[in-house]
Amino acid sequence: MSKVDEYVTYLRNNTNIMDTSINAYRKAVNKLIEDYGSEPSLQQVNEFVSMKNKKRQGFVRYAVIHYLRMLGFPADDEAWVKKNIVKAKTYKPKREFHYLSDSQRLSILKHMDDDAFRAVYWLQYKTAARARDVLTVRKNYVSFNEGERSVKLRVQAKGNKFRTLYLKKENFEPVRRFFEGDKRRAFAFLQDGFEDLDGDSLRVKVDTAYKRYLEFVQKAAVAAGLPKIGTHDLRRSKGQELDDQEVSIRKIQLLYGHSSIATTVRYLRRDDKVVENVMLQHQ
């Protein structure tokens, strides 16, 4: 049995790694053996991992750690691994942010050809909420304030925390029917099969619906002659609009539901001319 075959058998017998990952790990270790032999030194291992890091293949480090463990190295010891094996580097793909005017955001809405997703988009447009949060709104989490002049929608936000969205009554009217339909369905926008959902089951439903929603938004944006935006661009655009109107960063933070104001600042476009004017005005 070759060392690579022995490694695959070791992974299957001693780990819970999925077959797709095992195949990727096998290819990585096979390349390591081709380059340095079946028993590479730690210096050679780190040279190999560093090279793969530069190619954005951070998973190779973990493949190699399992191989060293099979060879008898104390790779079960986290302190040993931390001291002797270079760290994996992860890279997030850079994505261009888009700031859309009010008319541009409305033009996307006009090109949305799914009624339910139009309603989700409308709520995002009016509240600057996350798309995934809007998808979690339940029909029985709606209440009216001040003689039905405003509406409260309770959503399950990031980190399983509940958050309230506020709408003027006239802005609730375009989506009201989704909350007054079949009462056997718990959610306004999810196909929940007449059952309430929570935890992992809710997350799976939301992720599935979100992917479809994103496709509709991007298709509508392109049809409107705009770039293929992300749903978070709606949040950024609303915050930037308020910032341009000199609404305080603190109030924009509350609108977004951010725990840190530093996160809110990252959502906004940096305008060096504004910085210059503020500095000169307040000296």
Q: How does DSSP assign 161-203, residue by residue?
A: -EEEEEEEHHHHGGGGGGTSS-TT-SBSSS--TTS---HHHHH
Nearest to 10 by CA among 50, 80, 65, 83: 65
pTM, two decimals, is 0.65
Taking only the tens of pLDDT, the chain with its 283 residues reads 899 999 999 999 998 888 888 999 999 999 999 999 999 999 999 999 999 888 878 889 999 999 999 999 998 898 999 999 988 766 555 667 899 999 999 999 999 999 999 999 999 999 999 999 999 998 888 888 767 688 999 888 777 788 899 999 999 999 999 988 777 788 888 876 556 666 677 888 888 899 999 999 999 999 999 999 999 999 999 999 999 898 988 999 999 988 888 888 888 887 676 667 667 776 7
How remote is the C-alpha of 67 from its chain's centroid? 32
Residues 6 or more apart from 152 whose CB is under 8 A from it? Answer: 142, 143, 144, 145, 164, 165, 166, 167
CA distance 278 to 273: 9
Q: Which two tokens stand for residue 77?
A: 């010891």
CA dihedral 137, 256, 252, 278 (to 10 degrees): -160
